[in-house]
A and B are shown apart, each in its own frame.
Chain A
Amino acid sequence: MKKRKMLWSVICLVMLTLAGCGGGGGSTDGSNDGGSSDGDKTLVVGMASDLKTLDPHHGYEVYGNMVYYALYDYLYRTFDSSTPEPSLAESHELDDSKKVHTFKIKEGVKFSSGNELTSKDVKFSVNRVKNLKSNTSHHTENVENIETPDDYTVKFTLKEPDAAFLVKLANNSFAIVDSETVKEHGGTDAEDASSKDTAEKWLNSNSAGSGAYVLDKWKQNEELSLVKNDDYWDKVANDKVICKEIPDVNTQIQMLKQGDIDIALGIGVDNVSQLKDQEGVKIKNYVGSTTTFLLMNQDEKIGGPMANPKVQEAVRKAINYEELLKISGDQAVLPLDIVPKGFVGGLEKGKDYQDLDEAKKLMEEAGYKDGFDVKFTVANFDTEGMSWTTLGQKIKDDLEKIGINAKIETSEIGVVIDSYREGKEAFLMMHWHPDYMDINNQLVFLPGDTVGERAKWTDTSDTKMAELKKTIQTESDEEKRSAASEELQKLLANDMPYAFLVQHPKVLAYRDNLKGVNYYEVQKINFQDVSIN
């Protein structure tokens, strides 16, 4: 009898404690709304990032610049998706050969170590990137040499004229680090940096920058916290930023609803409906720059029927773009081909681009009247919340109408990317997220270039195309560039191994007591602009 009573009382005690903790936890969570208990203005952001490194000279991830922009200074920064704005650069001169760029930089900018930012730091930074041979180094390839005539002047000599150079400067490959501090911790900009530089580890827990924030702590896959830099040369509207890794979208939504996070970065077009009409929450859609496309391998041995240009055009004509647009959400765009809306000369498709009769005719002409089977590789991934498997099933459905039986095979994104980079895929869905906001970056789709190679599109004999490519890359006159861009797109529209699906919008959901929130493709959120009321 006694034993039983004791057992019961123990159980009751335990249950009560658990319930008490649970209940207590629930209530404290709901009461917060921007700012922690001690009065500091802390911004809490929920995200599902791919952050691998906080060393800007190694970074190549989508969320990289969100952090690098906050910690480091750049000569130029992009806000609006097309025009770079001078940041650290006070003046810019381009010589007649179009290869030498001279910049004067701001004076009196201090790194978090106390050292002053001078031209030697710029030189060190860019040379470090070049010699590290990291994932982001190819952006600096075109830089022949850097001179520093005085403490506040930097002269870049390029190998070839580059119309997108200023835009590239806004990419983390040109982030300016404190050369003294980095050297102290094993960094080097010498030719053997790729094997001798050991500063990355230190940079993953400390920042050596002059940006609006200083790195407080980084626990990979858990959270990142930044603290305001009191000596920053521009305004910072809050004191602290905490970025929490919340891979589950629903959790992000719930946390946003209850004010546990102020901004949710992982929300996509499909689940944003949960937040419509939600009190205290604002939703905004922005035109993004990431495009999802279908790749059809030109090599007959790999692509089979997909290598046939008539089949490729049939695929393009068979897709129901109107429905695609519908599922892709507000602010989604149908780019004509390689140039997204917002980039120089970007053209769009009409909603009625689809032409099933034409598609069927082309299939017949190609000799596939009865259709064929093909493996369709679709990674388990999503672009801005739009699930590829959903898109893939939609495409499969559309293609069935012209006789193509696309057998969907899903895989993890890492595995698919590896196969895609080797050009081994016959028919796959992929996305392209620009490294920097300029049409030059989109030229990778052309034959012989990065993505072209992956589609085994190697025939570079088309002189017209080569000419247009050169113009776009080097011409500094906006109008001439735009005209060349449009001509190139029209040239490609019916003759390329791709089918461009949709340019995805970015959905941003945030608490309505925030001001200054805007979404930018490169840095996602410009933390220093966001104020909490």
Chain B
Amino acid sequence: MRNMARFLLRRLVFVCFLIIGVTFLVFMISHLVPSDPIASNMSPNAMSDPAAVAAYKARWGLDKPLMEQYFIYLSNLLRGDLGTSIRTGNPVISDLKQFFPATLELSIMAMLIAVLFGITFGIISAVYRNKPFDYLVRTISISGVSIPNFWFALVMLLLFYSKWQLFPGGGRVSSRISAPTGGTGLYVWDALTSGNWALLNDALSHLILPAIVLGFFTMGLISRQTRSNLLEVSSLDYIRTAKAKGLSQRQIVLRHALGNALIPVITVMGMGFSNLLGGMVFVEKIFSWPGIGQYAYLSATTLDFPAICGVSLLIAMVNVLLNLLIDILYGVIDPRVRYS
């Protein structure tokens, strides 16, 4: 137990340090911006008014030395104030609040698909090793890991929406249904909890295609990792004993090997999720999904540095926290890790 506590503490301390480091890094990078944000965000009329320009500069601390600007930013951060987006004119925090649920919903679904199919495929592949099914699954998995996801999204949209009309096109809900407000912002959850089956059906159907595209890479990753872990474990002594005892390959894999093999897969999920957050940018763009990925892209390309800081921070934190969770999970399951 003491080891567990120490382990947790070490990880938490590290995470705090990481978050601070992230804010610093993000702040520094976004100030690499060579152009002047004033001219692109103030009206020509206002720019000729020195008082308005001075007020604008003061608001952003643009005339203070860089380090001081950073500390101003940090102190605001602790108070929950992420500044105001130059592009949208809204406080960054409310922008993020608006767009985050969409991305959360999409990533949860994508991870679900990735994990479910990934592990299943990995198991099938290992059990039916070197049979045609194995080759099929391995091809799919390796495609998942290799395919450029922006292209994959386009192709899927083209086929499943334009050509075969099996799935609806972009957006979170059909164009004739007004977007629901309030609730958690997670349409599927809100629909479930309020018993709105029509909305549930609609939101789910819009969610599937982008989720599949987004989760494809992670699915491939998990599938491959599961397969190789299973095979690796299968060559271990206790498995050989089982084999000697006369158990079939199937029984060995499922009853004895699976448990141990799945552990390292958890770490792969962490990496997969990280990749998911990146792939988000393309998928959201192509599927008109109003989420953080689109926001990040628009902020980055318009050099909207408060928004860039805000969104990078959010994404990095989500990534860090998730990996922390996975580390803890791993530590709980595998005692060896705790003692390292």
- A residues touching B (Cβ–Cβ < 8 Å)? 1, 3-4, 7, 11, 14, 18, 21-26, 28-30, 32, 36, 42, 44, 46, 52-53, 60, 133-138, 194-195, 217, 219-223, 225, 242, 244-248, 250-251, 254-255, 258, 260-261, 380, 412, 414-415, 417-419, 421-422, 450
Q: Would A24 and B205 count as touching, CB distance under 8 A?
A: yes
Q: Name the B residues within 8 Å of A222 (CB-CB).
A: 179, 290
Q: Would A29 and B174 count as touching, CB distance under 8 A?
A: yes
Q: Name the A residues within 8 Å of B254 (CB-CB).
A: 3-4
**Interface size range on B against A:** 35 or more
Q: Using A412-B302, A415-B302 as known contacts, say yes or no to A134 and B45 having CB atoms under 8 A apart.
A: yes
B279 contacts the other chain (Cβ, under 8 Å)? Answer: no
- Distance to closest chain A CB from B131 (angstroms): 16
Q: Would B178 and A223 count as touching, CB distance under 8 A?
A: yes
Q: Would A26 and B167 count as touching, CB distance under 8 A?
A: yes
B165 contacts the other chain (Cβ, under 8 Å)? Answer: yes
Which stretch in B11-19, B83-91, B229-237 binds the other chain? B83-91
Q: Would A418 and B286 count as touching, CB distance under 8 A?
A: no
Q: Would B36 and A418 count as touching, CB distance under 8 A?
A: yes
Q: Name the A residues within 8 Å of B201 (CB-CB).
A: 21, 24-25, 28
Q: Name the A residues within 8 Å of B170 (CB-CB).
A: 246, 248, 251
Q: Which residue of B lies closest to A244 (CB)?
A: B175
- Distance to closest chain B CB from A17 (angstroms): 9
Q: Which of A242, A250, A260 contacts B178 (CB 8 A)?
A: A242
B63 contacts the other chain (Cβ, under 8 Å)? Answer: no
Bound complex: CA A245 to CA B116 (Å): 33
Q: Which residue of A lies closest to B112 (CB)?
A: A14
Bound complex: CA A221 to CA B88 (Å): 10
Q: Would B35 and A418 count as touching, CB distance under 8 A?
A: yes
Q: Would A220 and B88 count as touching, CB distance under 8 A?
A: yes
Residue with the greatest number of chain B CB neighbours at <10 A, chosen from A26, A219, A261? A26
Q: Using A60-B43, A255-B169 as known contacts, say yes or no to A419 and B204 having CB atoms under 8 A apart.
A: no
B285 contacts the other chain (Cβ, under 8 Å)? Answer: yes
Q: Would A133 and B176 count as touching, CB distance under 8 A?
A: no
Q: Name the A residues within 8 Å of B43 (CB-CB).
A: 60, 133-138
Q: Would B169 and A260 count as touching, CB distance under 8 A?
A: yes
B331 contacts the other chain (Cβ, under 8 Å)? Answer: no
Q: Would B45 and A250 count as touching, CB distance under 8 A?
A: no
Q: Which of A23, A133, A247, A419 contacts B166 (CB 8 A)?
A: A23
Q: Would A25 and B202 count as touching, CB distance under 8 A?
A: yes
Q: Would A261 and B175 count as touching, CB distance under 8 A?
A: yes
Q: Which residue of B lies closest to A222 (CB)?
A: B290
Q: Name the B residues within 8 Å of A260 (CB-CB).
A: 168-169, 174-176
Q: Name the B residues within 8 Å of A223 (CB-CB).
A: 178-179
Q: Which of A134, A246, A380 contacts B171 (CB 8 A)?
A: A246
Q: Name the B residues within 8 Å of A44 (CB-CB).
A: 175-176
Bound complex: CA A221 to CA B294 (Å): 10
Q: Which of A53, A195, A219 contacts B98 (CB 8 A)?
A: A219
Q: Name the A residues within 8 Å of B49 (CB-CB).
A: 133
Q: Which of B89, B208, B290 contacts A52 (CB 8 A)?
A: B89
- Distance to closest chain A CB from B138 (angstroms): 18
Q: Name the B residues within 8 Å of A46 (CB-CB).
A: 175
Q: Using A219-B179, A222-B179 as known contacts, say yes or no to A133 and B52 having CB atoms under 8 A apart.
A: yes
Q: Would B303 and A415 count as touching, CB distance under 8 A?
A: yes
B288 contacts the other chain (Cβ, under 8 Å)? Answer: yes
Q: Name the B residues within 8 Å of A250 (CB-CB).
A: 157-158, 162
B65 contacts the other chain (Cβ, under 8 Å)? Answer: no
Q: Would A254 and B205 count as touching, CB distance under 8 A?
A: no
Q: Mark B297-315, 1 if CB is under 8 A from A, else 0.
A: 0000111100000000000
Interface residues of B in 200-214 (CB under 8 A from A): 201-202, 204-206, 208-209
Q: Using A11-B120, A217-B178, A450-B44 as known contacts, say yes or no to A26 and B89 having CB atoms under 8 A apart.
A: no
Q: Which of B40, B45, B204, B250 contacts A135 (CB 8 A)?
A: B45
Q: Would A414 and B169 count as touching, CB distance under 8 A?
A: no
Q: Which residue of A lies closest to B250 (CB)?
A: A4
Bound complex: CA A60 to CA B43 (Å): 9
Q: Using A133-B43, A242-B175 as known contacts, say yes or no to A248 and B286 having CB atoms under 8 A apart.
A: yes
- Distance to closest chain A CB from B150 (angstroms): 12
Q: Would A255 and B175 count as touching, CB distance under 8 A?
A: yes
Q: Which residue of A lies closest to B162 (CB)?
A: A254
18 contacts between A and B (CB under 8 A): A3-B255, A4-B254, A11-B116, A24-B201, A24-B205, A26-B205, A133-B43, A133-B52, A222-B290, A242-B175, A246-B288, A251-B161, A251-B288, A254-B169, A260-B169, A414-B301, A414-B302, A418-B35
Bound complex: CA A137 to CA B45 (Å): 7
